[in-house]
Structure 1
Amino acid sequence: MADGCACDRHAHMYLTVEDALERGLSVADPVTETEILPLEQAIGRVLAEDCASKVDMPAFDNSAMDGYAIRTGDLGDGPVFELPIAGRVAAGDCGDHDAPEGSALRIFTGAPVPPEFDAVLMQEDCDLLIDRIRFSRRPKPGQHIRRAGEDLCAGGPILRRGCEIGPREMAALASAGYGEVLVFRKLKVTIFSTGSELRHPGEPIGPGQIYNSNRYMLLALLQKPWIELTDRGPVEDDPTRLEQVLREACDASDLIVTTGGVSVGDEDHMPRLFSAIGGETDVMKVAMKPGKPVMFGRRGRALYVGLPGNPVSAYVTWQIIGSQMMARRAGLCHRPQITVQAVLAEPVQRRAGRQEYRPVQIDGTSPRGLPNVRLMAPAYSGRVALLAQADGLAIIPAEIEGLPAGHSIELLRF
C-alpha cells in the first residue's frame, strides 16, 4: 500500500480541521468577570492572574534528612570523628540553640538548621553511643541542607493566568502563602439534544426511537469545577420549540452545545433557526471523519457549538474542536492536544480527502517500544459501544489513501 491522493470529490469545499479550529478559537472570547475565593474553594477553577510567591520557598534553611547537624569546622583530621549531642531540633522549633563548639544537634527532616551549623549527617551514617555520635565520612559544607529560597525566592513567578488549579497548583499556591486567589467566574454552559426520536434510558422505546446517549456523554464531558451547567434535555424536532429553547439558551449562557440537526436534511433545523434569532454562523462543514457536519457561531455574548447527531461523530468533533473552544471561552490558556506515536498492526486503505480519527485498540508494543494499534471498524460514526471499547483515536491525515502495517501514526489516547 502507498500514500495516495484519490480524494473525496467534495473535500475542497470544506474547511480543514486546523482552519476550523483556528476560526473557532478566534470567536471564543474569554470571559472577563472574576471573583476572589478562599484557596480551599478554588480547586479546579481557572486562575485569573499571574501569581508570584509571597515568601521564600523554603522560608528558612532546613534539614533534608533525619540526622545530626554539625559544624564542619569543628572536625579534626579523622579518620574517625566523635561529637557529643548537645540538643535536639524538630520541625516547628525556632532554630535558636546554644550548642557549644565541637558538638552536634539531633535534627529531624524539615527542622530549622541553626545559623552556625553548616551540614547535616544522615543518621544511617552515624553510630550512636548513648550521648555521642561517631562517624568516619567527613561531610561537605551544605550537605543535606535545603537553603532558604532554594526552590523560589519571594516575588518569583509560580503560576500563570489561565491555568486550571489542580493538586500541584494548590500545593504551590499554599506554599507561596496564598490564602485566597482571583479566579474567573464559572462558564455558563447550556446543552440540549435535538430529535423527536430521543428517549431517556430506562424508558420503553418504540419503532424508530433511540436512547439519548449524546446527552449523557455531554454531561460527563462537562462536569468540571469551572462550569455552571444547564441541561435542557432532549428537544423534539419542532421548529417553534427549538427556536424558543435556543433563544433562551443564548440569552442565559456563555456557551450552548447541541447535538443533531446541523446537517442539510429537512429535519435539520439548527442552522436556519440560529440565523433566525440573530446568530452569525462561522463554520458548517469540516474535512474530518467522523464529524463533517458541524456548526459554530456567535449571538451576542453566547458562543454556539452544534455537534453531529451520531454519538461517535459528536464525541470526536467535541474533543478535537469544541472542547478547545470551550476552554478558551473559560479563560484557560491554550493547551494543544498531546498525541503519541504508535505503529499500525495491520494495513489501512481508505478514501483520502478528510482527516480521519479512527477508534483503535492497543495490541501490545512494537520492537521500538511504541504501542501497536489495530483500527476498529471503518463504519463507526453511530457505534457508541465501539467507541467505549477503544483505547484512543488514530489520526490519519487527509491526503493519505493507504498505509502499510508497521507504519507510524499519531495516536490521541483516551
Structure 2
Amino acid sequence: MIGVDEALARVAAALPTLPAETVATRAALGRVLAAPACTAHPLPLFDQSAVDGYALRHADLHTIPATLPLAGMVAASAQPARTRLAPGTAARIFTGGLLPDNADTVVRQELTRRDGDRVTVLEAVAPGTDLRREGEELAQGSVVAAAGAQVTPGLLAALALAGAHRIAVRRVPRIAVLITGDEVVPHGAALKLGQVPDANGPLIDAQLTRWGFPPLSIDYVADREEAVREALARAFDRADLVLTSGGVSVGDFDFIPAVSEQLGAQRVLWKVAQKPGMPLYVARRGASLLFGLPGNPASVLVNLQVYVRDALDRMLGRDPALRWRHARAPAPLRREKEKTFWLRAVVDADPQGQLHARTLSGQASHMLGNLARANALLRVPGLHEDTATDVLRWLSLDG
C-alpha cells in the first residue's frame, strides 16, 4: 500500500496527453489554452479619445481661457476617412472616437464652455491628456494569455477585442462512467428487496458538471465477469478517462483490476493508505486512464476530489496545486500511524479573517448526509508524516 503523495505522483506520471484543437473564441468559455493567444492588431486599435470633449493641438492653448473655432465632429463610429485638424481649431469628439491627425490632446467637456461653433477651454491641461494611444496596451502580435490559461468571461472578451477569432485549446477529455453492482439501481427506478438506489452515478455526474465537463452517459454493469469485460473494453476504446464505481476490492465479484489487466491495461496503483477510499485502483491502457473507485459514496467523493480532479487539471494544463488551501485544525484530532484521513468539514473565517475547520459527524464511508453542510475536505496526515497539524490542508467542496 502506498501513501497519498506517492499515489498522486504515480497518477501524474501515467496521464495521457490530450491533443489540441482549434475552436471559435465565442465557444471557448471554460476551455484551457493549448498555445499562447496573441493579438491580431494593436490595442487600442488606433489613437482615440478617452472622454467626451474636444480634440485640439496643445500648442494652441497659449492662454487660459482659450477660445477656438470648431472644425467638425468625430463620433465613436466608422469614419469615411481620417481627418486632419487645422492649427488653431478644435474638433468635437466622443469617447472612443478616432483622434484627428495633428491633434495631441483632448479636453473633457466639463472643462469647457460651448458657444455655437466656438469652444472655450476654461482650465489648463497637460499635453496628451485623455488620449488612448494605438498599441499602448498591447502591440500587434503580443500575447494576451499564455498556454494553460483558462478562458474566463473576461479573457474571452479580451480575446474578442484583440481579434483572436479562433484559438487553440486542449481537447476536453472524453469520459466514460461505469457503475457496477447487482444491488445498485439507477436513480429513480423502483427498488426490490436487497437493492439500493445509485448515489455514485449522480455524484460523479454532478461533480464533473460542476467542474465544467459536458453531461455524461452512465452505464450500469452487472456483477458478471463477461459483462465487466465488455463494458470496460468499450469504455477504453472511446474514452480518455474511464471512471468505475465498485468492484475494486478483494471480493468474489470485484472484477475491475483483473479484467482491466486482461484487456491490456498496465497497473499504476492499487490501494492507498487513506480513509475513506483505500481500495483505489488506477491503470492505463493506451491513451486511456482508468480510475477504479470504491463503491462507498464517501470513498467516491474523496477519490474524485483528490485524484480524478488532479488528473483532469493536469490533462488540461491547469496547476492542481492551486486548489489546496489551509485552515486551523480542529481539536481533538484523531490520527493513525500509517494512514491519511479525509474528513468532511466546515471551514469558515473568524472575525480576524483566520480560517478554521470544524469536522462533522457521520464520517463513515457509506454516509453522505453531512454533505448538506460540508464545504471542505480536510486532509489529516498520518502519525508517520513529519507534518505539523495545527494548520491542515483542505480542498473546497463548493467548486
Verify same fold: TM over 0.5: yes
TM-score (norm: length of structure 2): 0.87
Distance 1:39 1:167 in 2: 11
Aligned equivalents of 1:340 and 1:357: distance in 2?
A: 14
CA distance in structure 2 between the partners assigned to 1:335 and 1:143 by the alignment: 45
Higher RCO (C-alpha 8 Å, min separation 6): 1
> Any conservation in 1 of the 2:84–2:102 contact (CA below 8 Å)?
no
Q: Is the CA contact 2:302–2:342 (under 8 Å) kept in the aligned structure 1?
A: yes
Structure 2 gap ranges (5+): none
Question: Which residue is 1:6 aligned to?
Answer: none
- Whether 2:185 is the aligned partner of 1:199: answer yes
Structure 2 distance, partners of 1:132, 1:356, is: 78
SS of alignment partner, residue 323 of structure 2: coil
Amino acid in structure 2 at the alignment position of 1:384: L
Range with greater deviation from structure 2 (257-266 or 165-174) = 165-174
Once the two structures are TM-superposed, the CA of residue 30 in structure 1 deviates from its matched residue by: 0.8
Offset, 1:175: 2.2
**Alpha-carbon distance, 1:227 to partner:** 5.6
Q: Residue by residue, what CA displacement relative to the aligned partner does 1:337-360 show, whole Å, maximum 9, x if unpaired?
A: 33334335x523202343333222
Mapped to 2, the partners of 1:35 and 1:385 lie a distance apart of 41
Letter in 1 for 2:196: I
1:153-192 per-residue CA deviation (whole Å, 9 max, x = no partner) reads 1121223334443323322332222232334444222111
**CA offsets, 1:218-253, max 9 Å, x none?**
222334898676624221222221121112211222
In structure 1, distance between residues paired with 2:323 and 2:255? 35
Equivalence for 2:73: 88
Residue pair 2:56, 2:85 contacting (<8 A) in 1 also: no
- Aligned residue for 2:139, secondary structure, equals coil
Within-5 A mapping of 1:282-301? 282-301=268-287
**Cα distance, 1:140–1:408 mapped onto 2, change above 3 Å:** farther
2:357 matched residue in structure 1: 373
Aligned partner letter, 1:169: L
The within-5 A match list for 1:91-106 is 91-94=76-79, 96-106=82-92
SS in 2 for 1:273: helix
Whole-Å separation in 1 of the counterparts to 2:166 and 2:268: 39
C-alpha RMSD of matched pairs (Å)? 2.9
Counterpart of 2:128 (choices 128, 142, 145) is 142
How has the CA–CA distance of structure 1 residues 338 and 248 changed in structure 2, closer, same or farther, with 3 Å as cutoff? Answer: closer
Matched AA of 2:39: S
Cross-structure match for 2:52:
66
Among 220, 232, 240, the alignment partner of 1:254 is 240
Letter of the 2:333 counterpart = Q
User: Partners of 2:387 and 2:23 in 1: how far apart?
Assistant: 54
Q: What is residue 389 of structure 1 aligned with on the other side?
A: 373
**Which digits, 9 at most, give the CA deviation of each residue in 1:310-356, with x for residues without a partner?**
22221221121112223434x43444233334335x52320234333
Aligned partner of 1:26 among 3, 6, 13: 13
The aligned amino acid for 1:355 is T
1:342 corresponds to: 327
Local SS of the residue matching 2:217:
strand
Cα deviation 1:366-400 (Å, max 9, x = unaligned): 24312343221262432223123212223333348
Question: Structure 1's 292 and 169: CA in aligned 2 closer, same or farther, altered over 3 A?
Answer: same
Residues of 2 paired with 1:377 and 1:389: CA distance?
Answer: 11
Equivalent residue letter for 1:30: T
Give the structure 2 partner of residue 412 of structure 1.
Answer: 395
Aligned to 1:235: 221
Cα distance in 2 between the residues matched to 1:288 and 1:106: 71
Letter of the 1:349 counterpart: L
Q: Distance in 1 between matches of 2:263 and 2:180?
A: 17
Aligned-pair identity in percent equals 31
Quickly say closer, same or farther: Cα 1:99–1:295, change in 2 above 3 A: same
The alpha-carbon deviation at position 298 of structure 1 amounts to 0.9
Deviates more, 1:122-131 or 1:259-268: 122-131
Q: Give yes or no for contact 1:56–1:153 (8 Å, CA) kept in 2.
A: yes
**Match runs of 1:271-286 below 5 Å:** 271-286=257-272
Equivalence map 1:169-208=2 (5 Å): 169-208=155-194
Aligned mates of 2:355, 2:231 — CA distance in 1? 45
Check whether the contact 1:341–1:370 (CA below 8 A) recurs between aligned residues. no
Query: Counterpart of 1:311?
Result: 297
Q: Structure 1 length as normaliser, TM-score?
A: 0.84
**Contact 1:30/1:328 (<8 A) preserved:** no
The unaligned stretches of length 5 or more in structure 1 are 1-13
Task: Give 1:266's aligned residue.
Answer: 252
**Structure 1 residues 86-139: Cα deviation after superposition (integer angstroms, max 9, x where no partner):** 322111243733433333222222111123222222333334444444444322
The answer on whether the counterparts of 1:360 and 1:375 sit within 8 Å (CA) in structure 2 is: yes
Aligned-residue offset at 1:75: 1.0
Which portions of structure 1, spanning 4 or more consecutive aligned residues, are displaced by more than 6 angstroms?
A: 400-404
SS of the residue corresponding to residue 277 of structure 2 reads: coil
Q: Look up the equivalent residue of 1:301 and give its one-letter code.
A: A
